[in-house]
Structure 1
Amino acid sequence: MRAIVIRTFGDPDGMQPVEVPEPTAASGELVIDTEAIGVGGVDAVIRRGTIGGAGFTEGLIPGSEVAGVVSAVGDGVDAGWLGRRVWGFTGTSGGYTERALARVENVVALPEGLSPTEAVAIGSAAPVAHFALAHGRLVSGERVLIRGAAGSIGIAAVELAARAGASAVAVTTSSAERGERLRELGATHVLDRDGAESEAISPSPSDGFDVILDIVAGPATGRFIERLASNGRMVIVGAIAGFPPADFGAALLRGFQRSRSVATFSLDTVPRPELARVRAAQFEAVVRGDLHAVVHDILPLEAAADAHRRMDAGEVFGRIVLAPAPTSEAPSSLGK
C-alpha cells in the first residue's frame, strides 16, 4: 500500500511516497481504510526533527489522525466496528497512509452528516482548544488572546472562547484578510504576529489578557507573558516557532507582583473516556453548524511534501487534508 515516509528530517523534500506492507491489527487495534488524513502542526514539528528520541527515526510515517472505514479488527475488539465510519488517532505517527492502525480507545464513530474531511479538520484540534481553555480556567467575561489563530486549533479556540462568553477574543494572525475570517468565527480584535493592536482593546491593552492560548511559542514567548493581566494564565499548547528560549521565565519574575502563571497542556493528560465524549460532542456540533471545520485544501496523499511547504510558508488557514483516493469534497468556504 502507499504511504509517505520521512527519509531525512528537516525540509519537506525529505518526505517521499513509498510502498509499505499492509498493516495487521494487533490485540485492541483496528485497521482504518483512510479516506481523509489531517495534516497538523505537530506533523511539521516532527518532520523538522524538533522532537527527537525513540521512535523518531528515518523511515517514520508521519501523521496522527485519520478518518475512514474500519476494515479489520484485532483480538478483543468488537466485530461491530467493521464497516463503520470512524475518526482515529494513530499516535504520533502512522497516519499518512492508505490503511492506518489505531487503538480502539482512540477511535470515535462519525455521526451522519459529518464527512471524513471535516472529521480530521477538528478531530484533534477542537479537543485541544476545549481542554486547553479549561486548563486556563477561562470564565465568562474574561479577555482571551489566541496566539497563532489561523490554524485549526486557533480557529476552534476562537469559536469556543466566544461561546464561553469571553468579553474579548483577540487573535494574532498574519494578514487583515485572515483577521476578517477570524472575525466571522467570533474574534473581536485582530493583532499582528508580534501582538501589536490594529485598534484599541477595551479595557485598555495595559490591563492585559486573563487567558492567553499560545500555539506558537518560540523566541517571542516572553513578550506575550508580559501581555497577561494580573492573575493571568498562559497555556502553551504548541511550538510551531520552536521551543521558548531558556530564559523565557524571566518575564514572570519581572512581573512577580502580578501573580501571572504559565502552563503547558497536552491531550495525553485527559482520560480517554472524557476525551472521546468531548470529541463526539464536537462532531455533533459541526453537523448542527455550531462549530466549523475549516479546510484550506484537499490534496492527494503523494502531495504531502507540498502540504508541509505550504504550512512552513504560513499559507494555510485551517487545515490541509490528504486524500488517498480522489474526492468530490471541496474545501470549506472559510478556508478559501
Structure 2
Amino acid sequence: MKAVAIQTFGSPEGLAVIDLPAPIPAGGQVLIDTEAIGVGGVDAVIRRDGALAAAYGFKEGHVLGSEVAGTVAAVGDGVDTSWIGRRVWAFTGLGGGYAEQAIAPVEEILPLPANLSAADAVTLGSSGVVAHFGLSHGRFAPGESVLVRGAAGSIGIMTVQLAARGGAGAVAVTTSSAERGDRLRELGATHVLDRSGEGGEDAPAGYDVIIDIVAGADLPSFFDRLNPNGRMVAVGIVAGWPPTDFGMSMIAAFRKSLSFSTFSADTVSEPDRRAVRTEQFAAASRGGGLRTVVHEVLPLEHAAPAHRKMDAGEVFGRIVLRP
C-alpha cells in the first residue's frame, strides 16, 4: 500500500510517498480502507520537531496521521465481524493515518451517520472533542467571555461554535485577515482581533476564558487579556513552545488570581470521548447543526504541499487527504 512517511524531520520536503506491506489487525483492532485522512496541526508539530518526535519514540520513517474515515476491511481476534463493511471514523493514535489502509483499536472507531461525509468526519472528529473538553477544562460557563487564539484551524472553528452555542457573552477570535474574520463571524464569533489580540470594535477589555491553540513566543502577552480569575487553556502548540519563563507574566499579575493549564484529549476517558463525538457527528449531519469547514481535499501524494500550506498559514479549516 502507499503511505506518506517522514524521511527527514523539519520542512515538508522531508515527507515522501513510500510503499509498505498491508497492515494486519491484531487482537482488538480493525483494518480500515481509508477514504479520508485528516491533516492536523499535531502532524505538523511532529514533522517539524525531531526532538519532540524522539520523545514520543518516533523515528525517520514514521507515518503521520491520527484520524481517518473509511470502511472496515478486516478485524482482529476478539472483534465483532459485523464491523466489516461498515463506514467508520477512527483515531489511529499519533501515526499511521497517512496511508491507503490504517489500523485502529476497535474502541477508537465510531460508525458514521449515513449523511456525514468522510471528509467532514475527519474535520470534526478530534477537533470537536478538543474544543468541547478544552472549554470544560477552562470551566467555561454561560455568559462568560471567551477568546479563541488561532481560530482559523479546525479546533478553533469548533471552539467558536461551541462557545457561541453554550451561551458565551462574547466570542472573540484572533486571526490573520478580515476575510477570515467575516467567516468566523458566520460561525458565531462576535469580535475579530488581529494575531496580537489588538483591534476589534467594542471588543471586551478582558476575557474570562482564553483557549489558545497557538502557544509560541507571544503566549505570555495574552495573560494581560484575562479578567480577574480568568483561565487560559493551551490546547495546541502550532507556533512552537512558549518562552521558558512564560509563567513570570502570571506572577506579575498575582493579584488577579489567573490560571493557566494545558489540555490533551488523552486525559479524557474513551467512553466520554465517544459520547461527545456521537453527539457532534449527529449535530453535523443535521441541517443547522455544527458546521465543518474543509479547506481542501488533496490526493495522498500531496501531503507535502498540504503541510506547506499549513506552515504558510493558508488553511482555513482542515485539509483532507484522499488515497
TM-score, with structure 1 as normaliser: 0.94
Mapping of 1:307-326 within 5 angstroms? Answer: 307-324=306-323
How far, CA to CA, are the matches of 1:90 and 1:155 in structure 2? Answer: 23
How far, CA to CA, are the matches of 2:227 and 2:245 in structure 1? Answer: 20
Determine the structure 2 residue equivalent to 1:108.
110
Q: Deviations over 1:191-228 (max 9, x none)?
A: 000110231224xx1xx100000000000110011111
Q: 1:82 aligns with which of 81, 84, 88?
A: 84
Q: 2:284 aligns with which of 282, 286, 295?
A: 286
How far, CA to CA, are the matches of 1:107 and 1:32 in structure 2? Answer: 10
Mapping of 1:1-336 within 5 angstroms? Answer: 1-49=1-49, 51-52=52-53, 53-202=55-204, 205=205, 208-288=206-286, 289-324=288-323
Secondary structure of the structure 2 residue equivalent to 1:226: helix
Shift of 1:322: 0.2
How far, CA to CA, are the matches of 1:39 and 1:158 in structure 2? Answer: 20
Q: Deviations over 1:257-290 (max 9, x none)?
A: 0000000000000010110110011000001131
How far, CA to CA, are the matches of 1:201 and 1:35 in structure 2? Answer: 42
How far, CA to CA, are the matches of 1:275 and 1:240 in structure 2? Answer: 23
221 and 54 in structure 1: CA distance in 2 versus 1, 3 angstrom threshold? closer
Shift of 1:312: 0.2
How far, CA to CA, are the matches of 2:203 and 2:179 in structure 1? Answer: 19
Q: What is the number of equivalent residue pairs in this alignment?
A: 320
How far, CA to CA, are the matches of 1:294 and 1:254 in structure 2? Answer: 39
140 and 54 in structure 1: CA distance in 2 versus 1, 3 angstrom threshold? closer
Q: Deviations over 1:239-269 (max 9, x none)?
A: 0110111110011101100000000000000
How far, CA to CA, are the matches of 1:61 and 1:123 in structure 2? Answer: 20
Shift of 1:54: 4.4
How far, CA to CA, are the matches of 1:96 and 1:55 in structure 2? Answer: 18
RMSD in angstroms over aligned alpha carbons?
A: 0.8
Q: Deviations over 1:73-113 (max 9, x none)?
A: 00111111110100000000100000000001111110110
- AA paired with 2:98? Y
Unaligned runs of 5+ in 1: 325-336
Q: Deviations over 1:49-88 (max 9, x none)?
A: 2623243100000000000000000011111111010000
Secondary structure of the structure 2 residue equivalent to 1:77: coil
The 4+ residue runs of structure 1 with deviation greater than 3 A are: none
Secondary structure of the structure 2 residue equivalent to 1:124: helix
How far, CA to CA, are the matches of 1:155 and 1:18 in structure 2? Answer: 33
- AA paired with 1:317? F
Determine the structure 2 residue equivalent to 1:328.
none
54 and 139 in structure 1: CA distance in 2 versus 1, 3 angstrom threshold? closer
How far, CA to CA, are the matches of 2:25 and 2:223 in structure 1? Answer: 45
Q: Deviations over 1:274-320 (max 9, x none)?
A: 10110011000001131011000000000000000000000000000
How far, CA to CA, are the matches of 1:3 and 1:70 in structure 2? Answer: 18
Secondary structure of the structure 2 residue equivalent to 1:123: helix
TM-score, with structure 2 as normaliser: 0.98
